[in-house]
Amino acid sequence: MARPFDVVALESKWQQRWRDSGLYEVDNDDPRERFYALCMYPYPSGAAHQGHVRNYTFGDLVVRYQTMRGKAVLSPFGFDSFGLPAENAAIKAGSHPRLFTDQRIEELRASVQKLGAVYDWRREVRSHDPEYIKYSQLIFLKFFEAGLAYRANAPVNWCPGCATVLANEQVNADGTCDRSGDLVERKNLEQWFFKITAYADELLNEVDGLEWPDRVKTMQRNWIGRSEGAEFALQVDGQPDLAIRVFTTRPDTGFGVTYAVVAPEHPLLDQLTTAEQRDGVDELVTRARGASELERTASSDSGIGLDKRGAFTGSYVINPFNGDKLPVYVADYVLGTYGTGAIMAVPAEDERDYAFAQVHNLPLVRTVAPPADFEGGAYSGDGVKINSGFLDGLSISEAKKQATAFLGERAAGEAKVNFRLRDWLVSRQRFWGCPIPIVYCDGCGIVPVPAEQLPVVAPDDVSMDKSGQSPLATHEGFRSTTCPTCGGAARREADTMDTFTDSSWYFLRYTDPFTPGVPFDPSAAAKWMPVDQYIGGIEHAILHLLYARFYMKALVDVGLAPGLPREPFRRLFTQGMIRMGGSKMSKSKGNLVAPQQYYESVGADGLRLFHLFVGPPNDDFDWTEQTNDVIDGCARFIDRLWRLAELEEVTWRDEADATDLAVRRAVHKTIVRVTDGFEKWGYNTGVAALMELLNTLSKWARDAHGAHRATFDEAIDTMCLLLAPMAPHVSAELWAKRHGDDQLVHAQSWPTADPSLVVDDTVTMVIQIAGKVKARLEVAADISEADATAAALAEPSIAALLNGAAPSRVIARPPKLVNIVP
């Protein structure tokens, strides 16, 4: 579209000036009030897409707005530069992942700069920088020292064809390998874990105090999944040395237990299985252990029948409540990873137990009286205890307490809290990640690499081949080393860390990448932390945000971050996704709309304004055929403002009059509306308010009646100031044209509204009869209730409608409304 100015030249000129001015480079000793604004650092996948544009438009708005409010705003940028896509690209091309990564970082950096977003680039973080690797490894070692990092066996997806480990994303829905098509197996490997469960309670409790979207808080709570109950022993009949420990949230249902179930992975399963039952049990275990993880986690009413999903072990246990002999089954609906991997089954009060009991003809004993009209199978609602010996007549909550106490005396039981949250498996059998700084020595065992030898970096002389196996595992120069303790021959750990470890502390590195020898100086970090406003996609609602919270707490506890707050992100805003044709816009789906074409037509300002205007920032947005028209409309608004500021068709009047007062009121009301919008994520209504003001100004200044110069100047200056965080280039240019080339609109103070200009002298009062609007009346803004009522009743059209009848009631809400009830 034809523009009244050269948009490309104008925008690149200002981007250059912002870089030169240093306006957004803040030092750690800046005396102003602090504000830490942060967008989630991106994975560098090449030039920015609309999701980035949306994210950084919101972020940049916050940065520029808070700066104009007089704050020192920390606005850093960086790249989450380790990860699988670069590794896969390198495998395909037979080259090194760094080549792709560095190139894509430059592409993304350039396109982000073209958006006009401003950052303090001195603080840039790239996860694959040796400096960053060094401190990521130092943190690992501190966690190891503190007992927060440990080794254990854990299953991985193993492709026999490729002889390598696969990420979950590389396993197809039917359980085959993405690359070779072979059936993927579960295989146990010794791997590293972070003990996030040690913080389960704190992670759960501190969710409450965060200014985060409720949706995200709920997701975090559910993910942590705390449940209270009891754990106790079920003695195996005839084997005095053998007992199965079970966990239940319903100890009150103890008299209703009619069987017990262990998970296929249960360590005692072998001992429990009798010779006669061996075949059935083995068959079940084999199937559960196979590639059928997906099958197993599918809902119970799909896939394989329940009869095939459980088998009798041949053993019995004794119910401690009533001495009954209970058959022990193995079934895949019990998970080895949760609780004790074994349960007491209560078909009358648990739906899964009920379904299983039906198929296997197991008895049912109700221990809670269901309501009279209850027709279902399992009843898990409230009620009075029945068939439960000493618990009869009690409420469920009281029965839980007494049953737990009973178990304590009779079955080595105790109250127990369980979490759904598992420890964080951080080992990745990948090349393009941060190496785990550990060596294995035959004599000394697991030996941490001494801090002064960090970073441990991957060698450059590798090429990724089609096998997909990490070259770290086979590169002798990397793997063979000497033991730091005894000096003997040793092997380096070949695994790298999950890339979520990098994104768990980058926001701390931003605060102080300057002090040598430490990841960050705690006193410098303390000046900025916690992040005042974190902005990112909802897709990170659980993992990234949970891991970063864990890191923050652990870093404080291991002594790397003394004095820092234990929660990293005070306020979180999650932006909506951009969808196209029903699915999320993404590179992998191939439905990207590149921003570049818009930089050349409507400019970054036009595109930014569109993202701000199109709807509430936290809502998803559908990119359709109509979208380009809306973007053009946003550029049209900029052009109209430009032409008005350039005085096109404006006529002047010497003296100010009532029309000027009205315009000034509109200007000051707009200040309030835009400011409110900025504070409450109402950017769309903020843009609308500016559009309305422009309509008002244009009509007024171009009318034959004319505009008073001072009023006009105040209005245009205010528009520039209010627009500065949204459309920074054009507002900067207009400001410079009006005030001199050395004047920066973004260095000005945010405008404040004159309270006397925000309220009107007179307002339109609505007169209703029975809630329906029948008349309107111009009244003084401070009209009294009595005067409003009198004026309403005196209005001729109202009097005519009432026809002399006295109203039964009159509700007056001066000065806006009077409702007459006949």
Partner RNA sequence: GCCCGGAUGGCGGAAUGGCAGACGCAGGGGACUCAAAAUCCCCCGGCCGCAAGGUCGUGUGGGUUCAAGUCCCACUCCGGGCACCA
Q: For residues 800-819, which are near RNA according to CB under 7 A?
A: 809, 811, 813, 816-817, 819
Smallest distance from RNA to CB 610, Å:
9
CA neighbor of 231 nearest in space, from 385, 368, 411, 402: 411
Write down how long the chain is: 822
Are β-strands 572-575 and 533-537 bridged in parallel, bridged antiparallel, or unpaired? parallel
Site for RNA in 302-321 (CB under 7 A): 309
Site for RNA in 351-370 (CB under 7 A): 352
Contacting RNA (CB under 7 A), which of 68, 203, 334, 552? 334
| 773 DSSP β-pair partners | 768
* CA nearest to 213, candidates 676, 578, 621, 574: 574
Q: Is residue 553 helix, strand or coil?
A: helix
678 lines the binding site for RNA (CB under 7 A): no
**Options 9-17, 127-135, 332-340, 475-483: segment touching RNA (CB under 7 A):** 332-340
Whole-angstrom distance, CA of residue 169 vs CA of residue 167: 5
* Contact residue for RNA among 182, 237, 632, 787 (CB under 7 A): 632
CB of 355 to RNA, least distance (A): 8
Which of 654/778 has CB closer to RNA? 778
Q: Which of 332, 495, 567, 605 binds RNA (CB under 7 A)?
A: 332
Instruction: Bin 790: left if φ > 0, else alpha if -120 < ψ < 50, else beta.
Output: alpha
Cβ of residue 45: shortest distance to RNA, in angstroms?
19
> Which is it for strands 226-236 and 424-425: parallel, antiparallel or unpaired?
unpaired
Binding string, residues 197-236; x marks residues near RNA by CB under 7 A: -----------------xx--xx--xx-x-x-x-------
Q: Which of 352, 249, 267, 363 is nearest to 310 (CA)?
A: 352
Site string for RNA, 69-108 (x = CB under 7 A): ----------------------------------------
Please pick, from the candidates 153, 168, 397, 626, the single residue that binds RNA as defined by CB under 7 A. Answer: 626
User: Whose Cβ is closer to RNA: residue 705's or residue 776's?
Assistant: 776
- Interface with RNA includes 785 (CB under 7 A)? no
Q: For the CB of residue 666, give the shortest distance to RNA in the complex, in Å.
A: 12
Binding span for RNA by CB under 7 A among 172-180, 444-452, 613-621, 711-719:
613-621
Hey, which residues between 403 and 432 contact RNA (CB under 7 A)? 418, 420
Q: Which amino acid is residue 428, in one-letter code?
A: R
Among 274, 474, 597, 624, binds RNA (CB under 7 A): 624
What CA–CA distance (Å, rounded) separates 461 from 459? 6
Compute the least distance from the CB of residue 681 to RNA, in Å.
10
Q: How far is the CB of 91 from RNA (least distance, A)?
A: 28
Residue 395 as a binder of RNA (CB under 7 A): the answer is no
Return d(Cα 22, Cα 25) in angstroms, integer.
5
Of the candidate residues 1, 93, 647, 799, the single one contacting RNA (CB under 7 A): 1
The footprint of RNA on this chain (CB under 7 A) covers a number of residues equal to: 85
Residue type, 568: P
* Contact positions with RNA (CB under 7 A) in 451-510: none
CB of 802 to RNA, least distance (A): 14
Q: Which of 818, 761, 760 has the alpha carbon at shortest distance from 787?
A: 818
Whether the CA torsion 41, 43, 44, 48 is positive or negative: it is negative
Site stretch for RNA (CB under 7 A), options 137-145, 564-572, 609-617, 722-730: 609-617
Would you count residue 241 as binding RNA (CB under 7 A)?
no
Residue whose pair of structure tokens reads 């843009």 in the numeric block? 687
Q: How far apart are CA 608 and CA 687, in angstroms?
A: 11
What is the widest separation between alpha-carbon atoms in the chain? Answer: 109
With respect to RNA, which residue has the nearer C-beta, 509 or 665?
Answer: 665
Report the C-alpha gap between 262 and 574 in whole angstroms.
41
What is the DSSP pairing of strand 34-39 with strand 533-537?
Answer: parallel
647: contact with RNA by CB under 7 A: no
The only residue of 199, 534, 621, 712 in contact with RNA, by rule CB under 7 A: 621
642 is an interface residue for RNA by CB under 7 A: no
Quick one: 530 or 576, whose CB is closer to RNA?
576
Residue 665 binds RNA, judged by CB under 7 A: no
DSSP assignment letter at 531: B
Of 17-25, 329-337, 564-572, 663-671, the window that binds RNA (rule: CB under 7 A) is: 329-337
Which residue in this structure is represented by tokens 């709807």?
615
Find out whether 434 and 457 touch, Cβ atoms under 8 Å. Answer: no
Residue 529 in contact with residue 568, Cβ under 8 Å? yes
Tokens found for residue 680: 């409450």
Examine residue 264 and tell whether it contacts RNA (CB under 7 A).
Answer: no
Which position among 44, 51, 341, 413 is part of the footprint of RNA (CB under 7 A)?
A: 341
Give the C-alpha separation, 623 to 585, whole Å: 9
Distances (CA, A) of 450 to 53, 97, 128, 426: 42, 27, 20, 20
Quote the CA–CA distance of 314 and 712 in Å, as a whole number.
92
Q: Which class for 139: exposed (0-12), middle (13-18), buried (19 or more C-beta within 10 A)?
A: buried
Q: Which stretch binds RNA (CB under 7 A): 328-336, 493-501, 545-553, 599-607?
A: 328-336
Q: What angle do CA 43, 45, 47 make, to 5 degrees?
A: 120
Decide: is 375 part of the binding site for RNA (CB under 7 A). no
Residue type, 622: D
Binding pattern for the stretch 20-59 against RNA, x by CB under 7 A and - elsewhere: ----------------------------------------
Smaller CB separation from RNA, 522 or 677 = 677
> 505-564: which residues touch RNA (CB under 7 A)?
538, 542
Residue 753 Cβ vs RNA, minimum distance, rounded to whole Å? 18
- Least Å distance, CB 805 to RNA, is 15
Coil, helix or strand at residue 252? helix
Cα separation, 715 vs 705, in Å, equals 17
Q: Which of 339, 100, 356, 66 is nearest to 228 (CA)?
A: 339
What mask, x for binding RNA by CB under 7 A, covers residues 283 to 302? -------------xxxxx--
* Smallest distance from RNA to CB 127, Å: 24
- Minimum CB separation of residue 818 from RNA in Å reads 8
Single-letter amino acid code for the residue at 679: E
Residue list 690-709, contact with RNA (CB under 7 A): 691-692, 695, 698-699
What minimum distance in Å lies between the beta carbon of 288 and RNA? 8
